[in-house]
Amino acid sequence: MKNHLLYLLLLLFLASCKTDYSELPTYTASKQLRAIVETPAGNTLKLVYDEQKKEFVPDLDAGLEREIGFLPYPGNFGFIPSTEINKSGQGLEVLVLSDREEPGTELEVTPVALMQLESNGTLRHVVVAVPARPSERHIDATTYEAFSTEYPGAKAILQIWFSNYNKSAGWQFVGWRDENFAEKEIQRWMKL
């Protein structure tokens, strides 16, 4: 009986030990930028990380799960851990151009660009990245120049997608910035 009680306590303890993705280091031990996937590529249901529950849950709009009424997400959408862009604790957004990954997947990434959007005077930055490992890349670019030169169609698709996926928010495309600007934004929003 005593062993069963210890076993149950151990199971309860392990079940309560969930990863706090928002508190993971921004960079891995090998000094690669870390991205956390919330919404997988190809999804139309927007998922977000709930810091209290330490779970990935559907994003709600007026109490209803938010479905994208446009094309599915063109990449794995999520955040860069240990960054905070507002008082609600939201991390800096990142879109990883790679194969579909499940919510909670931690990826080592290389920023290639930063997309700027605006709605009602609010500026929004989305880091556009590729996997750090060359074997995991479909877009073989690690700089903004290479991304722009070799993949202008991908840039155009992202620009159109982000301008149309959420009509009620009214996001307008403002411009592109390079990987150096993206890195400065990451540094700017890192929690100290």
pLDDT (tens digit per residue) in 19-63: 899 999 999 999 999 999 999 999 999 999 999 999 999 998 888
pLDDT band at 98 (very low <50, low <70, confident <90, very high): very high
pLDDT in tens, 162-176: 999 988 888 999 999
56 touches 48 (CB < 8 A): yes
Question: 123 lies in a domain?
Answer: yes
Structural domain boundaries, residue 57:
18-189
Work out how many domains the chain is built from and give that number.
1
Which CATH number do you get for residue 183?
3.90.80.10
- More confident call, 103 vs 8: 103
pTM above 0.85, yes or no: yes
Question: 148 lies in a domain?
Answer: yes
Task: For residues 138 and 132, give the distance between their C-alpha atoms in angstroms, rounded to a whole number.
Answer: 11
Amino acid type, 57 = V
Task: For residues 47 and 65, give the distance between their C-alpha atoms in angstroms, rounded to a whole number.
Answer: 9
Task: For residues 144 and 151, give the distance between their C-alpha atoms in angstroms, rounded to a whole number.
Answer: 10
For residue 14, the model assigns a pLDDT of 45
